[in-house]
Amino acid sequence: EARALLRLKNAATVTRDGAEIRLFANAEMPADVTNARAWGADGIGLYRTEFLFLQRKELPSEDEQFTAYRDLVLGMGGLPSTLRTLDLGADKADSSGLTLDYEPNPALGLRGVRLSLRYPQLFATQLRAMLRASAYGPIRILVPMVSAFEEIVAVRTLLDRCAAELRSEGVAIADHFEFGAMIEVPAAAIMLPLMINQLDFVAIGTNDLVQYTVAADRGNDALGTLYDPLHPAVLRLIRLTIVTGKRARKPVSLCGEMAGDTRYTALLLALGLTDFSMHPGTLLEVRQSIAECDLTSLRKKSVLLLRARTRAEIDTALAAMQE
């Protein structure tokens, strides 16, 4: 079976009825890029830049960040690289002294884009490094933990200012780069129809979207089955995000753990997802799983998923989709 999977290494990702799907890789460190290429990813769908900031006391300089981002972009050989701005705080531990020492509710605290906007100088350093990397291949800049329209406007303003400064300094940057937001807070999914014209793409982060939708800590085992990617409310928010993106003709990817778990592949296809982003080690299994799916019949049954009120009804809908 492992050998059958290996045959899919350089294969296109298509459903049984011929629909093309794109599979991107999540990356957290340089080695992931090698694996993404080896397993035939269509690009990097999520590059978690936190690793540059963890386990050290002083912050990485613009040049150090630029080198890391440029190497990623070059390593992808012309395929798009999605660079996520810093997402420190909450479950993402920090030793650089940026995050607050004590917050009563860190998951609801100063994390992600909130932290970056609190330190505009630090944020500008990262954005400049990313923009400089754009001279070496296609990049997409992705903002985590967006919960308000103002945050998108603030980041966009800073980004445009950084680009203008680099150009006036005579530093090479691409004419075009894409700007996107993560949808991982219910407020962002709900507001997306009114925000999408500010964005070039969106990425659904289900790891956090589940936690914030059902108010259940993503790392707390005591909550048992409450933290459930198949909670009907989560599926409705995923669907809303996909539909909003489709209407505006903007790409929507999903980069939470769900995307790399073959138990969810058919369900995500039924909801209309076309771009998956996952740990590189799961790319082949998901490609295989997609090849076994008939998209036309899955899409017809998606209404069952959206009518479900309980996890049990979701399971029934999923069973009906397998038939």
Catalytic residues: 255
Span near ligand PEP by CB under 6 A; candidates 16-24, 188-196, 204-212, 225-233: 204-212
Residues in contact with Mg ion by the rule CB under 5 A: 184, 205, 208
Q: Can you tell me the distance from the alpha carbon of 99 to that of 306, in angstroms, rounded to the nearest whole number?
A: 39
Alpha carbons 55 and 122: distance in angstroms, whole number: 17
Q: What angle do CA 213, 321, 10 make, to 5 degrees?
A: 85
Considering the complex, state which of residue 21 and residue 255 has its C-beta at the smaller distance from ligand PEP.
Answer: 255
String marking each residue 74-103 x if it binds ligand PEP according to CB under 6 A = -------------x----------------
CB of 207 to Mg ion, least distance (A): 5
- Rounded to a whole number of angstroms, the minimum distance from the CB of residue 303 to Mg ion is 29
CB 234 within 8 Å of CB 228: yes
3-class DSSP state of 48: strand
| Segment interacting with ligand PEP (CB under 6 A) among 63-71, 202-210, 283-291, 306-314 | 202-210
Q: Kindly state whether residue 184 participates in binding ligand PEP, applying the rule CB under 6 A.
A: yes
> Of 42, 94, 208, 275, which lies in the binding site for ligand PEP, with binding defined by CB under 6 A?
208
Q: How far is the CB of 209 from Mg ion (least distance, A)?
A: 8
How far is 182 from 188, CA to CA, in rounded Å?
Answer: 8
Instruction: State which of positions 12-71 bind ligand PEP (CB under 6 A).
Output: 46, 48
218 is in an annotated binding site: yes
Question: Could you tell me the two tokens for 126?
Answer: 């990262």
- Footprint of ligand PEP on 242-261 (CB under 6 A): 255-256
What residues are paired with 23 via a beta bridge? 276
> Cα(288)–Cα(234) distance, rounded to whole angstroms?
25
263 labelled ligand-binding: no
The Cα 129–Cα 82 span in angstroms is 14
* Sole binder of ligand PEP in the list 206, 213, 241, 244 (CB under 6 A): 206
CB 59 within 8 A of CB 97: no
46 vs 191 by CB, closer to ligand PEP? 46
Rounded to 10 degrees, the C-alpha dihedral 189/191/193/196 comes to -80
Q: For binding to ligand PEP (CB under 6 A), which residues are involved?
A: 46, 48, 87, 184, 205-208, 255-256
